[in-house]
Amino acid sequence: MEPPEVTFLDRGRVMADRDFVVDGTSVATASNREPDHEYEAYVVWNLLIETPERTILWDTGSHPDAGDGYWPAPLYDAFAHVDADEHALEGDLADAGYDLDDIDAVVMSHLHLDHAGGLENFAGTDVPIYVHREELPYAYYSAKTGEGSIAYLASDFDHDLNWQVVRGDSYRLAEGVELLHLPGHTPGLMGALVERADEPLLVVGDEAYVEANYGGQAMATSLLWNNAAWRDSLARCRDIQRESGAEILLGHDLSVFESVS
């Protein structure tokens, strides 16, 4: 059987202070009371995974109105998806030679607003939307109450969607595509190991926003649902990479995305 082929979709840029991504980046000390701040560009991406069985879309990006009041103002102020209006899902798919009707399945790594903003395109269809068992209830809990995480918007995922619930630590989605449960950033974060013809691709995703996180520097506490779970998931990713020799794709690291895509 033919191995999976991966197409990378660039869904635009989020601007944020690096201290929101790598914990303690610009913390003042006795010897440096006014540290420099690094205001950087981070990438939002999706994947198209072609297998003989189906065409799979990995995540759906931000809603195109993110900067026009759709995202909560405090969150957009911290993580500004400055060109979301130029990256509607249908348009970015078309640029890659695909149409919404070509998508046979969608995998949601998690349901944060920079990943679930295009789910509305699949409302009322029979396209299966794969989400981990631990993610969906936490997303609703967060979006519908004053607790949990501000990064979930009910308007992203509270639609008539054909949810397919993934359970356990791993799940074979298609030949050569294994979903991996990587809790820490969120309860139900998923990555994947994709067995491409040339070399495997380990989709680490938001388990590590940037290379510093993958190297062990913790993400900002505001980005972590559970620090201990995050460290366990990070160790699992490193083990899989060592055993498979896979190329890695991180959550929002622009240079890593440019090197693999």
pLDDT at 35: 78
Q: Say if CB 47 and CB 7 are below 8 A apart.
A: yes
CA angle 191, 187, 141 (to 5 degrees): 130
pLDDT at 24: 82
pLDDT at 188: 98
pLDDT at 56: 98
What phi, psi does 153 have (nearest 5°)?
-120, 125
Q: Residue 258 and residue 148: Cα distance in Å, rounded? A: 33
Q: Residue 142 and residue 145: Cα distance in Å, rounded? A: 6
pLDDT at 251: 98
Domain count, the chain: 1
123-164 residue pLDDT tens: 999 999 999 999 999 999 999 999 999 999 999 999 999 999
The pairing of strands 201-205 and 247-250 is: parallel
CATH code for position 116: 3.60.15.10
191-243 residue pLDDT tens: 999 999 999 999 999 999 999 999 999 899 999 999 999 999 999 999 999 99
Neighbours of 190 (CB within 10 A): 29
Residue 72 clears pLDDT 90, i.e. is over it: yes
Domain encompassing residue 164:
5-260
21-40 residue pLDDT tens: 998 888 767 787 877 788 99
- Residue range 245-261: average pLDDT? 98
